[in-house]
Amino acid sequence: MCESEERTLGTSLGSLGDFFPDKDIRCRIRGCNNVWQFSGADALHNVAQGKSTRPDRMCDECFAEFSKLTDKQVVCSTAECTHTWNWNRFAQLEAAKQGHTTPPRGFCEACKANLKKIKDAEVPCRMKGCERTWTWRKRDQMLSEDGKSPVRFCETCFGHLKRLQDVAVTCRMHGCDKTWHWNRYQQLEHIVAGKNIETHPKRMCQACFDTFKTLQDQNVPCKIDECKRTWVFNRYDQLEYKLKNGDESELPSKMCHECYRFFLDSRDRQLPCVVRGCRHTWTYTRSSQLHDWLNKRGRPGPRMCEECQKQLKELTPQDVECMVPGCSKTWSHPPEDQLRDQRQGKREPTAKRCPGCEEFLQANKPKEIPCEHCAKPIHWSSYEQLLCSLETFVKPTRCTACAGQELAMERPPERFHADHHLIVRMPPNGPWQKDDRISHWPPHLTYDVIGNVEKADVRIVAFGDDLTVSAESVEKSWPFLLEKALNEALGEKLKVAVVNAGIRRCTSRQAVQRFARDVAPFRPDLILFSFAFGDSLLRLNHRTEQWSPNIAHDEVGEAQESLFKKLSSTPAKLLYWTTNPVFPEDELGEKPSEMLRRWVRAQEATRDHCLRDTRHLCVTHNIPTLDLRSRFEVNGVRSAKRWMADWYMHNDTGGQNIATWFAQHILNGELLPKQTPKD
């Protein structure tokens, strides 16, 4: 080789060495941070032999330790397996560099063969409500001592769990400002249940919960004095009440469940003022209804409206002259009577006797004194004795016959008229007192009505139930309109008084009980009666959709027979009337249940059965009948409903029609007594 070729080769080799510089390469043992130097010459040598330019080698330190180690036989990690597996030097060195002093878990050859037969398993997530799974690797299955999968989260739940933080949530009890610890596991369960993480669950703090465990439910008396029942003051309400009012506070005042349900189901009602002639009303509140219900009072006592109460306070007693001729004393006109007279439009109070005259009449009974001429007894009344004491009347000395003979020559005899007017005496006691529904007078029966009856020539009693009561206002009820129509038709011939003796929900059985109070005292010439509605009514509870008969079905027939016998025993003429039609289907609403439809069918069937039985009794006892139902439906059901206020009660127009039909039937049927009125 010539010199020039050697120089060229040397330059070329020097340039090739520049491509393989010395390098520091990390030790191949995991966990070791040392390096070893790999020279360019070694790299070039490896290239020439076709080897990698970055060999895996240990550092000098690791190699020294590696040289000292020997392979070890370690017991297989599979439970109950006694075989061993080889833990070589290299694995031991890596474990030492990573800080492990104990051998890892490994398998013997037999267990490795079994491992190939096992497959990874999908295990349900441990979080309640989560339907996802996590993968139980087959190696972990082999290492399990009992063969049972561990309890773990799926990847999704575990991802949520890592992002969550424990939160302090305010106690749920009103009045408590403490908090309770809502850990992230509970939050995860909240999320898995599909709930919003921003909406915290309602729980007690630990202090409230400790107090809650010491409490017991209490039975507390109802706040209504007349009620003997109790309501349950539960632990939760007790705790909240203590937080708000303190531990030493008194128990709260509340209604029991029955009183509260009655209070909710009730509504304030407007009832007529007790003052005769007043057209205002007073409010019968739910609270008052509750008290009356507990005291078993069927209806409230008479009460004034606010206007009358206000005016009553402004009135004072007045002294009024005694009505007895010759008496100079006075009697006290109380504010209550003044108010009544004002409401009735009376300018002067009703004439009355003073207390002195009343005492005289009580002390001096009527006497029989002999006639000075014939010695026949002369009736000397208490009032005549009073007039004699006041020197406004001469004590009688002649009997009627003797006095007539003496006057016969002086003047013609005056025409004598018998006083046909009645004095109504209402019985204070009777069987009606045992039934709350009929214990009080009929709502439209007042002292003014009684006074009108006493002055009338013809007396008619309308005896019945809701359809006889007719209206809240007396002036709109058909008995009042009937009286007005008859008096207008008769003019000055006869004065007619019609008594409205109707009571709501009254049955034939109750009618027999109250006959002696509401009919007999008026000695009626004509009785208009019907209890078909009260006897056939099925009372519906809209809340429970249950119903009950107003009177037991097996008692209706006997009660009607007793009533007809009682009425037939009176000298009065009788007229039974079939009531206006009823439309129970109008009570159902837009979407009635099957139970309500059954009530409609049962109500219609019961009413028809009751009307058939009543017509049969009318034929048996020879009592005439006025069919008002057919008159309502003469132009069809649609036309009849125009005269109805609700499903069973007629409206004002219907009441006017009933009065007109009654008046025509009474006048054309000659049901009024034939008598001569007083001149």
Assigned token pair, 59: 């550092």
pLDDT tops 50 at residue 471: yes
E-state strands within 521-605: 526-530, 538-541, 546-549, 573-578
Range with the poorest average pLDDT among 95-104, 122-131, 524-533? 95-104
pLDDT tops 50 at residue 677: no
pLDDT tops 50 at residue 550: yes
pLDDT tops 60 at residue 411: no
513-522 per-position pLDDT tens digit: 999 999 999 9
Domains of the chain in start order, with CATH, are: 20-68 (no CATH), 72-117 (no CATH), 121-162 (no CATH), 164-209 (no CATH), 215-261 (no CATH), 266-312 (no CATH), 313-408 (no CATH), 441-668 (3.40.50.1110)
Q: What percent of the chain has pLDDT over 70?
A: 92
Average pLDDT over residues 219-235: 92
pLDDT tops 90 at residue 655: yes
421 or 583, higher pLDDT: 583
Range with the poorest average pLDDT among 36-50, 67-81, 493-507? 36-50
173-204 per-position pLDDT tens digit: 988 999 999 999 998 889 999 889 888 898 99
Q: What is the pLDDT of residue 405?
A: 62
Average pLDDT over residues 239-248: 86
Give this prediction's pTM.
Answer: 0.43
Tokens 């100079």 identify what position?
Answer: 328
Spatial distance between the Cα atoms of 54 and 98, rounded to a whole number of angstroms: 24
* Number of Cα atoms under 13 Å in the Cβ half of residue 11: 6
Confidence of residue 376 (pLDDT cuts 50, 70, 90): confident
Q: What is the pLDDT of residue 41?
A: 74
Spatial distance between the Cα atoms of 232 and 243, rounded to a whole number of angstroms: 19
pLDDT tops 60 at residue 419: no
138 or 659, higher pLDDT: 659
Q: What is the pLDDT of residue 165?
A: 92
pLDDT tops 60 at residue 409: no
Q: Which residues contact 82 (CB under 8 A, 6 or more apart)?
A: 75, 76
pLDDT tops 50 at residue 415: no
pLDDT tops 50 at residue 392: yes
228, 255 contact by CB (below 8 A) = no
Confidence of residue 418 (pLDDT cuts 50, 70, 90): very low
55-83 per-position pLDDT tens digit: 778 888 898 888 888 988 888 888 888 88
Q: What is the pLDDT of residue 7?
A: 53
Average pLDDT over residues 81-93: 88
pLDDT tops 50 at residue 678: no
Average pLDDT over residues 226-247: 90
Q: What percent of the chain has pLDDT over 90?
A: 38
156, 132 contact by CB (below 8 A) = yes
535-545 per-position pLDDT tens digit: 999 988 877 87
551-558 CB contacts, 8 Å cutoff, 24+ apart = 551/507, 551/508, 551/509, 553/606, 555/509, 556/507, 556/508, 556/610, 556/613, 557/613
pLDDT tops 90 at residue 575: yes
401 or 89, higher pLDDT: 89
Q: What is the pLDDT of residue 31?
A: 85
- Cβ of 299: how many Cβ atoms within 10 Å? 18
Q: What is the pLDDT of residue 349?
A: 82
Where is mean pLDDT largest: 139-148, 287-296, 628-637, 670-679? 287-296
